[in-house]
């Protein structure tokens, strides 16, 4: 069944309006579609929503208007450093996009130069940077328990296109695995996110394959999402990623249907 709950629009850093996204989803035969605009982050307005009430009203309007054709859900992608009022949304995705250093925020996924800038703050030591990222993210996941954990190893976004900082470092892989195991104790649903594939940064989804095996061994709940910023990419790489998940041994993903997260066979 085609579904996606990680969807961005022109309310934040997406390309299309919410209604264009809905129409594209209906066109592709989607059964349900959830919106997850970036929660307003005071420290960086470049990518997030600045008019939250307008977003909420518009998604509610679309939910009603298209209810015969598709299930629409009002979600949000909050950040470890920009929390939402959870009661306003039907689900939340919890993500971490930056590190905080001496009261300043440094984006890890905007561009490679930004990542290097953050790395420099941690003595150009990939392990120190990764430790800070995963420690903060993991604490957030365990305390906040978001419905969905977004792109767990986002920090590895540029590993394929640029000089590898993390994957070629054994210590990093052990560290990511250790934090993942901790985070899985939250019992949250973890995203298998194809967003970086659609934007040409990676050929494989988040999290990295080695972490997918850890997730399988620990009976993780997973959900497939395209982290969509462009209506043409709503189901980007879904077929290939399902095959990958099956090869690793996953039998089910979760979907949001009739207002409930339920298991669906892959």
| Closer residue to Zn ion in complex, CB, 215/228 | 228
Q: What is the closest distance, in whole angstroms, from the C-beta atom of residue 217 to Zn ion in the complex? A: 26
Please give the full DSSP string across 93-162, using - where no structure is assigned: EEE--EEEETTEEEESSS-HHHHHHHHHHTTT-HHHHHHHHHHHHHHHHHHH--SEE--TTGGGTTTTTS
Shortest approach of Zn ion to residue 93 CB, angstroms? 7
Q: What is the smallest separation between the CB atom of 97 and Zn ion, expressed in angstroms?
A: 6
Q: How far is the CB of 151 from Zn ion (least distance, A)?
A: 6
What distance lies between CA 199 and its chain's CA centroid? 14
Smaller CB distance to Zn ion: residue 52 or 171?
A: 52
Q: Which is nearer to Zn ion, 77 or 159 (CB)?
A: 77
Closest alpha carbon to 214 in 172, 176, 242, 187? 176
- Of 58 and 77, the one with the shorter C-beta distance to Zn ion is 77
3-state secondary structure of 195: helix
Q: Is 10 helix (H, G, I), strand (E, B) or coil?
A: coil
Closer CB to Zn ion, residue 159 or residue 227? 227
Nearest residue to 233 (alpha-carbon basis) of 189, 201, 262: 201
Residue nearest to Zn ion (CB): 95
Q: Smallest gap, in angstroms, from Cβ of residue 146 to Zn ion?
A: 12
Structure-block tokens of residue 203: 């050929």
Q: Which residues of 171-190 are buried (b: 16+ CB within 10 A; e: fewer)?
A: ebbebbeebbbebbebebbb
Report the distance separating Cα 175 and Cα 156, nearest Å. 13
Integer Cα distance of 141 and 76 in angstroms? 15
Whether a cis peptide bond, with omega within 30° of 0, leads into 25 is no
Task: Answer positive or negative: Cα dihedral of 181, 250, 263, 266.
Answer: positive
Identity of the residue, 90 or 216, whose beta carbon is nearer to Zn ion in the bound complex:
90
Smaller CB separation from Zn ion, 112 or 213:
112
| Binding footprint of Zn ion on the chain (CB under 5 A) | 77, 95, 227
CA-nearest of 23, 1, 20, 24 to 10 is: 20
Least distance from C-beta 57 to Zn ion, angstroms? 21
């Amino acid at each position: 069944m085609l579904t996606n709950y990680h969807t961005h629009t022109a309310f934040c850093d997406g390309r299309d309006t919410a209604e264009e996204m809905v129409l594209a989803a209906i066109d592709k035969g989607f059964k349900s579609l959830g919106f997850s605009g970036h929660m307003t982050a005071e420290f960086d307005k470049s990518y997030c929503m600045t008019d939250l009430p307008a977003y909420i009203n518009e998604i509610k309007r679309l939910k009603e208007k298209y209810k015969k054709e598709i299930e629409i859900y009002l979600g949000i992608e909050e950040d470890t450093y920009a929390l939402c009022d959870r009661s306003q949304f039907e689900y939340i995705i919890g993500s971490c996009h930056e590190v905080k250093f001496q009261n300043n925020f440094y984006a890890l996924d905007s561009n490679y130069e930004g990542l290097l800038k953050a790395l420099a703050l941690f003595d150009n030591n990939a392990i120190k940077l990764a430790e800070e990222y995963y420690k903060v993210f993991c604490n957030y996941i365990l305390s906040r328990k978001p419905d969905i954990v977004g792109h767990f190893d986002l920090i590895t976004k540029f590993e394929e296109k640029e000089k590898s900082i993390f994957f070629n470092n054994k210590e990093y892989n052990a560290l990511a695995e250790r934090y993942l195991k901790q985070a899985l104790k939250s019992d949250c649903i973890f995203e298998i996110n194809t967003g970086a594939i659609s934007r040409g940064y990676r050929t494989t989804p988040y999290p990295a394959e080695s972490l997918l095996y850890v997730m399988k061994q620990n009976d993780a709940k997973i959900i497939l999402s395209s982290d969509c910023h462009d209506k043409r990419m709503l189901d980007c790489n879904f077929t290939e990623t399902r095959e990958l998940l099956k090869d690793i041994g996953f039998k089910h993903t979760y979907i949001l249907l009739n207002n409930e997260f339920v298991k669906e066979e892959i």
